[in-house]
Amino acid sequence: GQQLNQSPQSMFIQEGEDVSMNCTSSSIFNTWLWYKQDPGEGPVLLIALYKAGELTSNGRLTAQFGITRKDSFLNISASIPSDVGIYFCAGLNYGGSQGNLIFGKGTKLSVKP
């Protein structure tokens, strides 16, 4: 089945630094999503990307849908302590709400004040 390779697995950074993480796949997706999960909570949607090449921002977060539709990256600028958590990328097999999400293994972000 489809799999997503998400990297890095974990990051330890200083407050104020920028962060970059990415996901790649051997097959294409119609939609890429980025979620953040805090301990003991469900994932919260950060950014949704629907078109190849699309670059979307949400505050300090920026994500891009790769031209090949096989990859996506998420950047966080000027990190703050509350950015700590696990970030998951997810690909949607086909458009529409009935599609199944395929999740990456997550990037655990730690921010040192």
- β partners of residue 111: 13
Taking the complex as a whole, the smallest distance from the CB of residue 94 to another protein amounts, in Å, to 13
Determine if 26 is a binding residue for another protein (CB under 8 A).
Answer: no
71: enclosing H helix or E strand: strand 71-76
What residues does 73 pair with on adjacent strands?
22, 64
Q: Which of 14, 40, 82, 113 binds another protein (CB under 8 A)?
A: 40
* Residue 59 makes contact with another protein by CB under 8 A: no
How far, in whole angstroms, is CA 38 from its chain's centroid? 14
Q: Does 41 bind another protein (CB under 8 A)?
A: yes
Residue 78 in contact with residue 16, Cβ under 8 Å?
yes
Kindly list the residues in this chain that would bind another protein in the complex (CB under 8 A). Answer: 31, 33, 35, 40-45, 48, 88, 92, 97-98, 100-101, 103-106
